[in-house]
Amino acid sequence: MSDVSTPDDAESGHDHEHHHDHEGPGYATPQAAIEEGDREKLAYVMSLYVGTDIDASDFVAVVDIDPDSDTYCEIVDRIELPNRGDELHHFGWNACSSSCHMEGLERRHLIVPGQRSSRIHVIDAKDRRNPELVEVIEPEEVFEYDLSAPHTVHCVPDGQILISMLGDADGDLPGGFLELNEDFEIEGRWDPPGEIEMNYDYWYQPRQNVMVSSEWAAPKTYYPGFDLDDVEAGEYGQQLHFWDWEEGTVEQTIDLGEEGLIPLEVRFLHTPESTHGFVGAALSSNIFHFWRDEEAGEYRAEKVIDFESREHPDWDMPVPALPTDILISMDDRYLFGSNWLHGEVWMYDISDPSNPRRADSLSVGGTFGEVQEVQGRELAAGPQMVQLSLDGERLYWTTSLFSSWDEQFYPEEGEQGSVMLKADVDPRNGTLELDEDFLVDWGECPDGPARAHEIRWPDGDCTSDVWQ
């Protein structure tokens, strides 16, 4: 792939001067990803049996999403892991667009952590349709660095891999970050121990020398399920941490307060010049916009989207929307997300990041969804993890959040399995339309119904690629 220059680059802020020599993985710019990326034909999906009655190991599903294929909407391969109880959750690539300057480096290996086991798997996806497990980092190797519960995996410049870790070796606080080298060996702890207490997701913007991280809770707190008493006891997070990317130290912490309880997925805009981003505060059901105030020399955060709780006869309290995932389209125009409890996927126009404008939404699955079945298949849970095509024209989602939380809020999910659904997006008009011809059903897995969580494309996507 080569660098692409368009007349709109000056307006979009997608500056190319840093990567005129593009010899490595990924795309030279976000605009190049849109223009040069092929339509997604395969999806890799984290799939798990943890929390079900089925005695089987978790697996990575290879899903055929090519509408011209004879196996469209089918799981065409499963990379089964060697142990039980890993709880596959989030995963990522060994290399992405942040290393597009590195000749010889390939986007080839998937780094697949077990959230409960702290075991880290390396899957070789050279054969995109038939990947294979090639290496396992055992939990004891991870515990040596007093870390556990791996979550977000990002490929970082020069071939390293950085993983957010949510707990210490005992499942308590503090969490931190674990670094792997390009040979998938543990390099060590990236951050000074105790720099933060709680951890969850992170995103980095290397041209601005900044990383932002969010907070969930100690693994021992969220593993058993959700308990409101833990919130009242201050056991769940409400802060954003802004790091010096080069030094690996926290420069600023913003407390989001009661409006920002459980800030989960966090995203910077894709253009590397930007300091704007968004985070979803799941329990408070709000979206915050953050940005660097250049005059003050520090970051600010402001609530810009508020999802109202709704009454339900089976609940003794108003039901929060629970926006558990967000992503930004590659052109930085739209913010997409899911409200897992309400049963909704949505899109907001963020052309002005400080004033998002609601574009459209779909009411599907969950507690209040208007659509409760697709092709006769009951939707046992609400939309959860989302992924968008590089061109911004197709939005996909799965329905499992975390095994113990699934059991608590949607027990039928474990019995029936997850689904993967799709909406067609019209970016020009800002609309979503449910594609009722698309359904991938984890209820039909050979070992029995399984859960499905994060989605990745073989050649990069809106939640894995970062630019320098």
Q: Residue 268: CA atoms inside 13 Å, Cβ hemisphere, count?
A: 28
| pLDDT, tens only, 324-356 | 999 999 999 999 999 999 999 999 999 999 999
Percentage of the chain exceeding pLDDT 70: 95
Q: Report the number of distinct structural domains present in the chain.
A: 1
Mean pLDDT of all residues in 250-262: 98
**Residue 6 is assigned to a structural domain of this protein:** no
The dihedral sign for the CA sequence 15, 19, 21, 23: negative
Res 9 pLDDT > 70: no
**Residue 418 is assigned to a structural domain of this protein:** yes
Task: Check residue 13 and give its pLDDT.
Answer: 40
**Residue 463 is assigned to a structural domain of this protein:** no
**Residue 24 is assigned to a structural domain of this protein:** no
Mean pLDDT estimate for the chain: 94
> Could you tell me which residues come within 8 angstroms of residue 7 by beta carbon, excluding any fewer than 6 positions away?
none
Task: Check residue 24 and give its pLDDT.
Answer: 79
**Residue 464 is assigned to a structural domain of this protein:** no
Res 19 pLDDT > 80: no
**Residue 242 is assigned to a structural domain of this protein:** yes
Q: How much is the pTM?
A: 0.95
Ranges 21-35, 307-321, 337-351, 359-373: which has the least confidence: 21-35
**Residue 447 is assigned to a structural domain of this protein:** yes
Res 2 pLDDT > 50: no
CATH number of domain containing 437: 2.130.10.10
| pLDDT, tens only, 118-171 | 999 999 999 999 999 999 999 999 999 999 999 999 999 888 999 999 999 999
Domain containing 398 equals 30-456
Residue 76 to residues 45, 164, 412, 453: CA-CA distances in angstroms?
12, 30, 25, 17
Alpha helices in 359-460 (DSSP H): 403-409, 412-416
Q: Are 466 and 97 in contact (CB under 8 A)?
A: yes
In one-letter notation, the amino acid at residue 324 is T
Residue 224, preceding bond cis, omega within 30 degrees?
Answer: no
Long-range contact set of residues 404-407: C-beta below 8 Å, sequence gap at least 24: 404/51, 404/222, 404/223, 404/224, 404/225, 405/222, 405/225, 405/226, 406/51, 406/381, 406/451, 407/51, 407/225
Token digits of residue 141? 């190797």
Q: Which helix (H) or strand (E) is 204 found in, with range?
A: strand 202-205
Mean pLDDT of all residues in 206-210: 96
The CA dihedral of 166, 171, 175, 179, to the nearest 10 degrees, is -80
**Residue 285 is assigned to a structural domain of this protein:** yes
| pLDDT, tens only, 212-231 | 999 999 999 999 999 999 99
Task: Check residue 5 and give its pLDDT.
Answer: 32
